[in-house]
Structure 1
Amino acid sequence: MLRHLRPALVLLVALTLITGLAYPLAMTGLAGILFPAEARGSLVLGPDGRPVGSALIGQAFAGEGDFHGRPSATTAPDPADTAKTVPAPYNAASSGGANLGPTNPALVARVRDDVAALRAENPAAPVPPDLVTTSGSGLDPDISPEAALFQVPRVARARNLPEARLRALVAGPTQERTLGILGEPRVNVLALNRALDAGGAR
C-alpha cells in the first residue's frame, strides 16, 4: 500500500511547493520589478509622501468644492448591531453592488432623488448616467468626462474659479480608451481632485 501512496504524496508535496510557494513568490518578485507602483497597490502619495489613496479604489468626496465619484453601494457591519450593516461607500473590504433589480422601489426612489438633486445643481445639462448608478464593485475610481464636466458649475461656484479653467483641468487626468479600443474615456476622481487642490483654491 505504501508503494501506491508514496508517488501520490511526493506529487502532492512537489505541486504544493511549486504552485503554492515558488510560483506566487516568483510572480510577486517579478511584478515588483516590472510594475513596482502597481505591485504596491497603485498608491497615490500626498505632498508629505504619505499615501492619500489608491488610483484603483474610489473615495467618498462629498464637499461642494470637490468632484464627486459614482454612488457606491458597499456596506460595513453596524457598530451598534453586528448582525446588521450600514452604508459605507467605497469600503474595499466589502466590495459589491446593491443587487437591486431595475424595478426595485428602493433603487427607483434613490435614483429619482439623485437625478433631482443633480438637475438642481446643473439644470442646463443632462444628468450623466454614471453619476446616479453604482458599479458592480462599488469601488469604481473613475467617472466619464461628461460626468466630470457636469460638475464644473458647482465646483466653480464653491471654489470661486472660472468654469473654463476647470474644464481645462478636467482634460488633464482624462484617459482615453486602452489601446484605442478597450473601455471608455474616463477621469480618475482622486487625480482630478488632487489637480484641483494643487491648481485652485477652495
Structure 2
Amino acid sequence: MKLQVALDVLDLPSALTLAHQVAEHVDILELGTPLVKSAGITAVTAIKAAHPDKLVFADLKTADAGELEAELAFEAGADLVTVMGSADDDTIRGAVAAGKKYGKQVVADMISVVDGRVARIREVAKLGVSFVEIHAGLDEQARPGYSIEQLLADGREAGVPFSIAGGVKADTISSVREAGAVVAVAGGAIYSASDPSAAAAELKKRATN
C-alpha cells in the first residue's frame, strides 16, 4: 500500500517546505484542491521539479471538461489527477482518454457520494480509472459520529482498486491496509503534526508492517 500526503496548504512555498519534510517517507505528493486554486497549475510543475522521483497527484476534482482539465495537469507534470466520481460518465471518460494519451493515471474521487456509493464506485471503475478514491471531506469528518469504518466497508464491498482519504492516521492506517486499499491518503495527521517528517515516517511504517 502506498502512502500519499495531502499538501493541504495555500501557497507554494509552504507546499515545497512540507514536501521537503516528508518526501523521504511518502510515495505520492498530492497538491490539494485549495493549493491548486490558490497557487495555480504551475505549482504542480514546481513540486514535480523539486521531487522528480515521487508521484505527483493534482487533486483537481474535475466536474466537467474532463479531458481538457486532465491534460492541463498532465502537461504541468502531474502523474495522477482526480475527476469527480459524481460527474457525468463522459467527463470521466474524457479524463481517462487524456490519461491514456499521456501514460498517466486518473482517479475517481467519491467525495459527497454517499447514497449508492458502492454501486457508483463499481460504475466508474468500469470507465477506466486507475482506482477510486473513497473520500470523506473535511466537512463530513467534522460531523458528530463520523467514522472511517464506513469508507473501509464500502471499499471491501466494491471489490475494485481503491484508496482511502478521510481520517487516515496512526491508529487507523493499519485498518486501511487490511481493508485492501492500494493507497492511504493522510492530510492533517501529517501537516498538523509538530514534526511532519516523524509523523509521515510513523504512518509509512504502519502502512507497510
Per the TM superposition, whether the score is higher than 0.5 is no
Higher strand share: 2
TM-score with structure 1 setting the length? 0.24
TM-score (norm 2): 0.24
